Amino acid sequence: MYGAWQNEGHVRDKWLAQRRIQEQAADFADQAAVRSAIELLTGTLSDIVLEINSDMTIMTTGSVMHDSFFGASVGGKNFTELACPVDRDRLLELLQRASRSHVLESCPMRLVRHSRDFEAQVMAVAVLCKVPLFVVGIREEHNSTQESAAGDVFAYSLEDDNDDKRQAEGLADGMLQGVHNNQASDLRSQGALSLGESLGTNRTERIFSDLAKVSTWDGGVDPLVQKRLRQVCELGCTEHWLLAWDELEIPSPEEAVVLGKGGFGVVLLATFHGCQVALKLPTTADGVAPARSLPSFANELRMLRRLRHPKVVLFYGAVIQPDLGVVALVSEFVDGTTLQSAATSKGQPALGMPERWWILLDISKALRFMHGQTPEILHGDLKGCNIMVEYHPVRAKLLDFGLARLHKKGMRPLGGTTRWRAPELFWSRGRAATPAADVFSFGRVAFLTLTGLIPPAPPIKHANDPNSLVDGAETSEELWAFAWPATAVSSMKQLLGCS
């Protein structure tokens, strides 16, 4: 009898212990959900979000985004070290208010970055859990009389480059670098500043031009490349397009949906904060991206970070790992197919002639926007595979700016795909590039769109040398011309009301 009673007590104690564990697990799950919701809310109002213990230690560690924002590793530091001495009491008071009210409290104050002060709005909320925790959001405040936006942060990154050339170049574009992004937008709308100028400022020019020269690395990523990529991280943090891997949901290789493949990488369907996006990744070997993919990815990032037009695929941001030489691009997912597939009706609904004209109109709008900048932006690889078509309604968007160029003195030779390339690019080996090269490619895109046929190959002499033309090709237009099918011509005449 005693043994049965003792066993019953043991079972009861075990049941109570399991119940307490389950209650604690549910409590922790609720706390994690609340904490996640608070971080999401704070993140929508802030440039950066940190988790801080009750002893003011920063819990967030190992994040390129956070380290780039402050210009140094902040994980494990005391948060008061990031505030100006005169505002540390105000910071402590803010956290005390947050712990009492349990709602989002905010206060303007000055924080420290690169030993320099900057204005910020600091928001804090206390998370109700057994371990005291604060979620703190920081939004940098800009005004015309304070620091020069990207200028101060980015200029500091370049100070150790120790060359007088940068200082001389800085004088030439000093006014431009001193303008904040919002002010630049206002000037651009008044015709005082173009998108091309914002893309081609000397302080960013040097960074991306160095990355464009990368050809190979052995035994790890070149230190200069790592340095330049860290500087690009700082630029991305300032311009608010730098992303972290944990913001993306990437399916396993077995479940991955491949949207496209190219010579330098692959495009996968991923999820970004609950929304489908296109994730462009370089092909990797042993976890390290090959050097040959970096110039293309860096060049596309350079263009897309400021390229905004309804007929150009929307750029959301980039994930950068300087130590591995990796740049991954996150852009809008266009739920459709390439123009080449749509025009040839390969597994796609057939397009009527009016829809085909609308597609060409959309592409021409994108080119008009790009060629209207100062300097002009050349796409450099306009072809059927680099245009996406949606069906409901039918519309087209331009993508893949890996070979794009700013049309100015000293620009790198323009590449492109042989079948779609302008004649002058063959005999000049890409050095005679102008907006007319894109217009020639657009003509071939029009042929594909309206006929459903792939344009014929150019008059090349040697298949192994894409720049070798047959004799007389430089002066003979007949060698470049090709006949349009009679059915396509008839359909176009009917649409245009011609006899």
Q: Do 218 and 127 belong to one domain?
A: no
- DSSP class of residue 264 equals S
Domain assignment of residue 32, given as a range: 2-140
By CB atoms closer than 10 A (0-12, 13-18, 19+), residue 433 is buried
Same domain, 388 and 489: yes
Distance CA 54, CA 94 (A): 13
Q: Tell whether residue 311 is among the known ligand binding residues.
A: no
* Gap between the Cα atoms of 203 and 494, Å rounded: 54
At 266, is the secondary structure helix, strand, or coil? strand
| CA distances in angstroms from 332 to 83, 202, 397, listed in the order given | 37, 29, 10
Pairwise pLDDT comparison (480 vs 194), residue with the higher score: 480
Do 345 and 259 lie in one domain? The reply is: no
**Residue 468: predicted pLDDT:** 65
CB atoms within 10 A of CB 199: 20
CATH assignment at residue 79:
3.30.450.20
What distances in angstroms separate CA 251 from CA 149, 261, 268, 318, 333, one per listed residue?
A: 37, 17, 9, 18, 15
The single residue listed with the structure tokens 């008071």 is 93
133 in Cβ contact with 51 (< 8 Å): yes
Residue 136 and residue 16 in one domain? yes
In this structure, are 414 and 285 located in the same domain? Answer: no
120 and 166 share one domain: no
Token match 């990368």: residue? 214
Distance in angstroms (rounded) separating the CA atoms of residues 319 and 250 = 13
Q: Which residues of 79-107 are buried (b: 16+ CB within 10 A; e: fewer)?
A: beebbeeebeeebeebbeebbeeeebbbb
Cα 305 → chain centroid: 6
What's the half-sphere exposure (Cβ side, CA atoms, 13 Å) at 33? 6
Q: Which of 22-36, 111-125, 257-271 has the lowest mean pLDDT?
A: 22-36
User: 179: exposed, middle or buried (C-beta count within 10 Å: 0-12, 13-18, 19+)?
Assistant: buried
Q: Which residue has the higher pLDDT, 197 or 314?
A: 314
Which conformational region is residue 26 in: left (phi greater than 0), alpha (psi within -120 to 50 degrees), or beta? alpha
Q: Does 318 lie in the same domain as 433?
A: no
Beta 275-282 vs 265-272: how paired, if at all? antiparallel
Query: What does the angle CA 113 – CA 116 – CA 122 come to, to the nearest 5 degrees?
Result: 55
Q: Which residue has the higher pLDDT, 291 or 152?
A: 291
CA dihedral 159→163→168→174, nearest 10 degrees, is -20
> Residue 48: inside a domain, yes or no?
yes
β partners of residue 125: 135
314 and 425 in a single domain? The answer is: no
Structure confidence by residue, pLDDT tens digits, 329-370? 999 999 999 999 999 876 667 888 889 999 999 999 999 999
* One domain, residues 354 and 448: yes
Assign residue 448 a region: left if phi > 0, alpha if psi is -120 to 50, beta otherwise? alpha
Helix axes 202-212, 294-304, angle to 10 degrees: 150
Q: Pick from 140, 172, 197: which residue ends a domain? A: 140
CATH of the domain at 250: 3.30.200.20
| Greater pLDDT, 169 or 322 | 322
More confident residue, 288 or 294: 294
In the chain, the percentage of residues whose pLDDT exceeds 70 is 67
In the sheet that holds 105-113, the strands lie side by side as 48-53, 133-140, 116-127, 105-113
What's the whole-number mean pLDDT along residues 32-40? 57
Together in a domain, 367 and 286: no
**pLDDT above 90 coverage of the chain, percent:** 25
Question: For residue 106, what are the CA distances in angstroms to 86, 388, 392?
Answer: 17, 44, 44
- Count how many domains the chain has: 3
